[in-house]
Structure 1
Amino acid sequence: MNINFTSDLFLWLLLITLPEMVFSQSADFTIQDVKFESQGVTLAGSILTPKKTFAAVVIVHGSDPVKREMEFAKSLAKEGIAVLTYDKRGVGESGGVYVGPSVGTNNIDTTNINLLSHDASAAVNTVRTCLKNKKIPIGLVGFSQAGWIIPIAARKNPQIEFMVLFSCPTITTLEQLRFQFYTNGNNNFWENHTEAEAREHIKNDSDRYQFTATDPKISLNTLSIPGLWLFGEKDIQIPVKLCIEQLNTFKVQGKPFEYTLFSALGHNTSSGDISETVDISIEWIKLKALNIKKSKSYK
């Protein structure tokens, strides 16, 4: 009787002391719901842990009010990549205030970009504590707006050892807005405009909004971790060829930055019906994780 009572009491105490963690199981991975603190608010997410983990990533959002990216996370977890995906600040179960055009506020000013970089860094610290093997490499995977957030987070947090960026800019926030206003949502933009015209507009157009620009090249210049950018040539949100030119400059300087250009794609390079880009990113992560582990073993 005492043994059963003690066991039941232990389980009851465990449940009431861990109310913020919920576990579920699939054939390939477990899912653990977690909450963590960042800059005075509580963020909510899920950690997907494969049976055999060779790398881990935190998913960094684009500009929309996005909840945790479970389907994308599952596609990574099935391939042996542990994932922490969380509801964006002010969205879903996460605290704080969402900032963005859909609610009439500027989500690419320096204050918000830096705040979101703190969130990504806190998520990295959280997933690290949940990994049994502390030597597993951790990286960031993000979309669009994450191109400004990820380099800042990686500069702040030395635990971040690689980065994968889908349709992410290497230009400043103000330059991106000039280009976006120029294309004006026209999917046929590149059929009627030249690269030279787009660059001239980005260089000389007057800014509709006045705020301090975030330049990802400042942070990228300080980083020596591997990075992979995946671009769609028909993108009308960011000027892809200009971004690639800037990456090539970094490569000449010896930065371990790579990119892949998909001629048939636009800004959306990671949706559920596009598998090639995700497959390439998974294989790239596997290779870089192996190289990182090898370099650690020699130290």
Structure 2
Amino acid sequence: MVFPQSSDFTIQDVKFESQGITLAGSILMPKKTLAAVVIVHGSDPVKREMEFAKRLAKEGIAVLTYDKRGVGESEGVYVGPTVGTNNIDTTNLNLLSQDANSAVKTFQSQLKNKKLPIGLVGFSQAGWIMPIAASNNPQINFMVLFSCPTITTLEQLRFQFYTNGNNNFWENHTDSDAREHTKNDPDKYQFTATDPKTSLNTLSIPGLWLFGEKDIQIPVKLCIEQLNTLKAQGKPFEYTLFPKLGHNTVSDNDTTPFDISVQWIKQHVFNSKKTKASK
């Protein structure tokens, strides 16, 4: 069924298979489409991100957003601390990356314009999932990453235990404190770490990271340092730092990160068309 939600776009419910289960989502299709994106979830048990998807669709970006595995109408088992399981285990991150790639494949089959650039947009934990997905899928043209780590899963946990949910953390800690702790603190859990740089090193597609400097989930300055190293090696990666924001860089209160991401996607589409035209 296709539901006209506004004069700008339509919404169509969709179901697709991934690793033996059925995932459920929605496709938002603008009248005039510039690019297409699949939304990749953070760590929480999240249903499809309809409000965020509508914001993108109003900008001419087609979106496939789906209920995370084990959540909403999607089959499978949700993995995460709230149910006593490890959602940043390598096996789970790989599984979620396969879900994202199944969504990309489904989306491409639905798009009338097969040459439309298709990318991934994600939040937080998606910083580990999206590079794995993109490294296994040459159809992915770009990535936009809101508050996403570029450090290993174990390093992120060390930092998160250190800040301990304290919103005033940065008022009485320095970046060097956080860096020292993140690099050297003994691990509370023993499992194989996932390092996103392993996948990022294989990619040549553009990526945009949006960080809030007051983030207490990921050590932003350390993540930026890792990105700068990759940039120095010629990777087409960019980032923007918002001094007043924390981990939530997609809130309605401050639309600047969202606006920058949309402009970046549009610029990427323009540049890729220009490159193809010159060949």
Query: Shorter chain as normaliser: what TM range?
Result: over 0.9
Which position in structure 2 is the counterpart of 1:190?
170
| Equivalent residue in structure 2 for 1:293, among 258, 273, 278 | 273
Distance 1:293 1:38 in 2: 32
- Distance apart, 1:23 and its partner CA: 1.0
- Residue ranges of structure 1 left out of the alignment (5+ in a row): 1-21
Q: Note the C-alpha offset of 1:291.
A: 1.4
Q: CA RMSD in A?
A: 0.8
Q: TM-score, normalised by structure 2?
A: 0.98
Quick one: which of 211, 220, 223 aligns to 2:203?
223
Deviations 1:51-85 (A, max 9, x none): 00010000000000000000000000001000000
CA distance in 2, matches of 1:274, 1:65: 24
Give the Å deviation of 1:194: 1.1
Mapped contact 1:67–1:87 kept (Cα < 8 A): yes
**In structure 1, how many angstroms separate the alpha carbons of the residues matched to 2:252 and 2:20?**
34
- Matching residue of 2:94: 114
Please list, as runs of the form range in 1=range in 2, the aligned pairs for 1:60-79 lying within 5 A after superposition.
Answer: 60-79=40-59
Name the residue aligned to 1:19. none
Of structures 1 and 2, the larger Rg is shown by 1
Task: Name the CA distance, whole Å, in 2 between partners of 1:59 and 1:120.
Answer: 8
Q: Secondary structure of 1:160's match? A: coil
2:87 is the counterpart of 1:92: no
The residue type equivalent to 2:65 in the other structure is: T
2 CA distance for matches of 1:141 and 1:216? 16
Where in structure 2 are the equivalents of 1:4-19 lying within 5 Å?
Answer: none
Partner of 2:28: 48
Tell me if structure 2 keeps the 8 A contact 1:135–1:293. no
Structure 2: unaligned runs, 5 residues or longer: none
Letter in 1 for 2:152: T
Question: What CA distance in whole angstroms lies between the structure 1 residues aligned with 2:49 and 2:210?
Answer: 18
Report Cα offsets for 1:258-280 as digits up to 9, x if no partner: 00000000000012333111111
Q: Is 1:24 the equivalent of 2:3?
A: yes
Q: Once the 2 structures are TM-superposed, how far is the Cα of residue 183 of structure 1 from its aligned partner?
A: 0.3
Contact 1:146 1:168 (C-alpha < 8 Å) held by counterparts: yes
1:298 deviates by 4.2
Residues 208-265 of structure 1: per-residue CA shift (max 9 Å, x gap):
1111000000000010100000000000000000000111111111110000000000
How far apart in 2 are the matches of 1:43 and 1:177?
A: 29
Give CA deviations for 1:116-158 in whole Å, capped at 9, x if unaligned: 0000011111111111111100000000000000000000011
CA distance in 2, matches of 1:232, 1:64: 19
Asked whether 1:129 is paired with 2:136, we answer: no
Q: Deviations over 1:71-126 (max 9, x none)?
A: 00000000100000000000000000000011111000000000000000111111
CA distance in structure 2 between the partners assigned to 1:294 and 1:137 by the alignment: 13
Q: Distance in 2 between matches of 1:61 and 1:298?
A: 36
**Structure 1 letter corresponding to 2:2:** F
Greater mean deviation of Cα atoms: 175-184 or 122-131: 122-131
1:175 matched to 2:155: yes
Match of 1:4 in 2: none
In structure 1, the residue matched to 2:15 is: 35
Match of 2:189 in 1: 209
What is the aligned counterpart of 1:146 among 126, 129, 148? 126
Mapped partners of 1:41, 1:56: distance in 2: 24
Which 10-residue stretch deviates more, 285-294 or 61-70? Answer: 285-294
| Alpha-carbon distance in 2 for matches of 1:84, 1:202 | 35
Provide the rounded CA distance (Å) in 1 between the counterparts of 2:159 and 2:176.
Answer: 12
- Given that 1:155 and 1:222 are in contact with CA atoms closer than 8 Å, whether structure 2 keeps it comes out as yes
**Structure 2 Cα separation of the partners of residues 212 and 271 of structure 1:** 33
SS in 2 for 1:209: coil
> Secondary structure of 2:150's match?
coil
Among the aligned pairs, what percent are the same residue? 81
Determine the structure 1 residue equivalent to 2:238. 258
TM-score (norm 1): 0.92
Structure 1 residue 294: Cα displacement: 2.7
Q: Aligned partners of 2:9 and 2:101: how far apart in 1? A: 24
Partner in structure 1 of residue 215 of structure 2 = 235
The count of aligned residue pairs is 278
SS at match of 1:260: strand
